[in-house]
């Protein structure tokens, strides 16, 4: 059943007109800007952020379909896991599509560098920037989990998805001047605490080692997903869950652990991170 | 054995009472669920399909206790459901959608599933449109596609919520014929507020207006209505504008204005008991009794 939901979502994604209009536009736009280090990164993140909007559209349709689907052997666990898997696969596919463009048109021989959390500078090929793929992929997971949480609230979901997409888009103009959480320059940034959420600080630490992103992202996505299952169990919706409370509890504990350990890694990375020294 | 059993079923949303103390025991076949708009038909159907949990009482359908998650899951394996407003993924074709629902219903063997999908699409007369996107279908075709997805697993219980509302006469006739055919082999619960649909298709009826007004055979109901003299024929030299009278039909000729009314005729009128009582009169009589 997970496979059925996953393939169903992939079919919806593959036929979504918004995605197939936006992707070529973004590719042309970013290629026009030159596909240097930051524009390349923007291409990956912007293109994947379109999937957040597709996710919300599909949730709306699922809400209309729910009586039909609930009369089958539907259960929330399979449905939510199937959808998260489908969007993870779609993110990978979008990254591959962008990579094809970058491979042919990107970089022009320029080499960027990322800063490893032990302080070493690691050169990165802009024609094959796997570090950016990792960061982009993992930064989408908490967004999908958040949108799953609000799947029955279309306008709120759309607001979140569009805000995230615009936030990513704005980076083209603002470059590293991160309007929400501030840059490394001192100043008053009331939302600085958002820095612990990988999806929101994707640009501030664009050239940092991607490894410290994996655990916090997985932790947040896990908290969102298991938190949603726990909420549905708590409020006793008529949706069958097909997952025992103990597994939900275990999932929440592992997610918290992952977030905690990831945060430690993240803080360690921040101690050595100074974008001025990267290039 | 009763295929539908409701014991003191009530459902309220906050202070609003949608269903009040429903008690029903009915056998299989085609059962009409009749009531005015807002009578609680859709709420009852959602209780019967397990989408809503009743605030009080117990319900069982086809021998499955709906309060037990295992039995509800068992019921869903043999359930077909067409909601009031069937929705589809607009970019999918009819075959793809029915195939998707078939997979969700647990039909995993590909060859068998494909055959079942083809069969159900053919049954509802959509073979020529099987590869058409669902957004290109007319309203009537979408309702038929709703039936196709519901019967793809050959369910023992089929629940259809107001399928004929908004359809043109030709499509309504086609739909009635479809449902009557399905009702021969399984329990079909057919919700509607169109009396004619029930007369043409069902032998048992549940009349609902937040509570059960009647549940049983259609013929027995008509017998009761005849015995109670619920319907009167009345001729008047002038038109009648009495808002209190429930007028079922009216016509006029050179002898005056002829009316068929339900309930007590006006005092001093020349009303005569009607010789034939239809379901419409019986239904209006029931509604009158409920409002009294």
CA-based torsion, A65, A66, A72, A77: positive or negative: positive
Q: In Å, how far is A85's CA from the nearest CA of chain B?
A: 17
Neighboring chain A residues of B134 at a CB cutoff of 8 Å: none
Work out the average pLDDT over B166-195: 81
Q: Do A65 and B87 touch (CB under 8 A)?
A: yes
Quote the tokens at residue A187: 């100043």
pLDDT in tens, B251-283: 888 888 888 888 777 777 777 877 777 888 888
What DSSP line would sit under A192-203, residue for residue? GGGGGSGGGSTT
Neighboring chain B residues of A16 at a CB cutoff of 8 Å: 91
Neighboring chain B residues of A71 at a CB cutoff of 8 Å: 49, 76, 79-81, 150
Tell me, yes or no, if B69 comes closer than 8 A to chain A by beta carbon.
yes
Residue A28's pLDDT is 86
Q: In Å, how far is A226's CA from the nearest CA of chain B?
A: 21
pLDDT band of B70, cuts 50, 70, 90: confident
Tell me, yes or no, if A73 comes closer than 8 A to chain B by beta carbon.
yes
Quote the tokens at residue B285: 């009589």
Residue B12 has pLDDT above 50, yes or no: yes
Residue A78's pLDDT is 92
Work out the average pLDDT over B189-208: 84
Helices A17-33 + A37-70 axis angle, to 10: 170
The per-residue pLDDT of chain B, averaged, comes to 83
Beta-strand pair B204-209/B211-217: antiparallel
Residue A112's pLDDT is 66
pLDDT in tens, B16-60: 888 888 888 887 788 888 888 888 888 888 888 888 888 888 888
The residue among A12, A17, A68 with the most chain B CBs within 10 A of its CB, best to mutate, is: A68
CA distance A259 to A257: 5
Residue B76 has pLDDT above 50, yes or no: yes
Q: Do A71 and B79 touch (CB under 8 A)?
A: yes
B4-223 sits in which CATH class? alpha beta
Q: Do A71 and B81 touch (CB under 8 A)?
A: yes
Candidates A61, A64, A72; nearest CB to B104 = A72
* CB-based contact B44:B192 (threshold 8 Å): no
Nearby residues of B182 by Cβ (< 8 Å), 6 or more positions away: B147, B151, B158, B188
More confident residue, A192 or B236: B236
Tell me, yes or no, if B11 comes closer than 8 A to chain A by beta carbon.
no
pLDDT in tens, B82-111: 888 888 999 999 999 999 999 998 888 889
Task: State which residues of chain A have pLDDT below 50.
Answer: 178-190, 277-279
DSSP B230: -
Residue A135's pLDDT is 83
Task: Tell me the C-alpha to C-alpha distance, in Å, between residue B252 and each of B233, B235, B247, B255.
Answer: 13, 9, 14, 8
Q: How many CB contacts within 8 angstroms connect chain A with chain B?
A: 67
Residue A185's pLDDT is 45
Tell me, yes or no, if A68 comes closer than 8 A to chain B by beta carbon.
yes
Candidates B69, B81, B90; nearest CB to A68 = B81
Which residue of chain B comes nearest to A65, CA vs CA?
Answer: B87
Tell me, yes or no, if A235 comes closer than 8 A to chain B by beta carbon.
no
ipTM of this complex: 0.82
Start-end of CATH 3.40.50.300 domains in chain B = 4-223
Q: How far apart are the first and last CA of chain B?
A: 34
Tell me, yes or no, if B105 comes closer than 8 A to chain A by beta carbon.
yes
Neighboring chain B residues of A72 at a CB cutoff of 8 Å: 76, 101, 104-106
Work out the average pLDDT over B119-148: 87
Tell me, yes or no, if B120 comes closer than 8 A to chain A by beta carbon.
no
Closest by alpha carbon to B189, among B57, B27, B36?
Answer: B27
Q: Do A73 and B73 touch (CB under 8 A)?
A: yes
Q: In Å, how far is A47's CA from the nearest CA of chain B?
A: 22
């Amino acid at each position: 059943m997970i496979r059925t939901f996953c393939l169903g979502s992939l079919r919806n994604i593959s036929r979504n007109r918004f995605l197939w209009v936006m992707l070529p536009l973004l590719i042309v736009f970013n290629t026009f800007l030159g596909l240097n280090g930051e524009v390349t990164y923007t291409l990956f993140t912007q293109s994947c952020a379109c999937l957040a909007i597709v996710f919300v559209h599909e949730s709306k349709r699922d809400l209309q379909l729910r009586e039909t689907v609930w009369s089958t052997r539907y259960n929330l666990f399979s449905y939510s896991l199937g959808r998260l898997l489908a969007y993870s696969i779609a993110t990978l596919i979008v990254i591959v599509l962008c990579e094809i463009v970058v491979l042919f048109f990107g970089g022009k021989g320029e080499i960027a560098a990322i800063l490893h959390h032990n302080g070493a500078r690691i050169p990165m090929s802009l024609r094959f920037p796997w570090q950016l793929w990792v960061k982009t992929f993992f930064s989408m997971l908490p967004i999908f989990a958040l949108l799953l949480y609000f799947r029955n609230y279309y306008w709120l979901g759309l607001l979140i998805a569009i805000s995230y997409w615009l936030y990513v888009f704005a980076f083209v103009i603002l470059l590293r001047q991160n309007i929400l959480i501030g840059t490394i320059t001192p100043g008053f940034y009331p939302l600085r605490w958002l820095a612990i959420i990988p999806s929101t600080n994707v640009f501030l630490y664009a050239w940092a080692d991607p490894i410290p992103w994996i655990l916090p992202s997985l932790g947040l996505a896990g908290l969102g997903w298991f938190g949603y299952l726990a909420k549905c169990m708590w409020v006793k919706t008529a949706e069958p869950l097909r997952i025992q409370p103990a597994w939900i509890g275990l999932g929440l504990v592992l997610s918290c652990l992952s977030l905690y350990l990831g945060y430690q890694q993240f803080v360690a990375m921040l101690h050595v991170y100074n974008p001025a020294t990267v290039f | 054995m009763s295929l539908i059993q409701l014991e003191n079923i009530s459902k309220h949303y906050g202070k609003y009472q949608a269903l009040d103390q429903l008690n029903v025991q009915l056998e299989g076949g085609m059962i009409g669920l009749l009531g005015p708009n807002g009578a609680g038909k859709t709420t009852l159907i959602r209780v019967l399909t397990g989408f809503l949990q009743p605030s009080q009482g117990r319900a069982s359908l086809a021998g499955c206790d709906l309060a037990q998650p295992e039995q509800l899951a068992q019921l869903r394996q043999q359930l077909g459901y067409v909601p009031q407003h069937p929705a589809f993924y607009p970019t999918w074709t009819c075959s793809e959608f029915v195939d998707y629902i078939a997979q969700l219903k647990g039909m995993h063997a590909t060859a068998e599933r494909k055959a079942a999908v083809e069969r159900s699409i053919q049954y509802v007369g959509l073979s020529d449109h099987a590869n058409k996107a669902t957004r290109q279908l007319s309203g009537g075709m979408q309702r038929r596609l709703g039936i196709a997805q519901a019967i793809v697993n050959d369910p023992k219980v089929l629940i259809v919520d107001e399928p004929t509302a908004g359809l043109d006469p030709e499509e309504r006739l086609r739909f009635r014929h479809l449902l009557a055919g399905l009702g021969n082999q399984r329990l079909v619960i057919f919700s509607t507020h169109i009396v004619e649909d029930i007369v043409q298709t069902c032998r048992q009826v549940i009349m609902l207006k937040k509570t059960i007004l009647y549940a049983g055979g259609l013929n027995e109901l008509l017998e009761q209505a005849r015995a109670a003299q619920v319907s009167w024929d009345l001729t008047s030299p002038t038109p009648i504008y009495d808002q209190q009278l429930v007028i079922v039909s009216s016509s006029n000729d050179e002898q005056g204005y002829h009316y068929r009314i339900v309930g007590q005729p006006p005092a001093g009128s020349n009303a005569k008991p009607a010789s034939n009582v239809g379901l419409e009169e019986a239904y209006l009589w029931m509604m009158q009794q409920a409002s009294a």
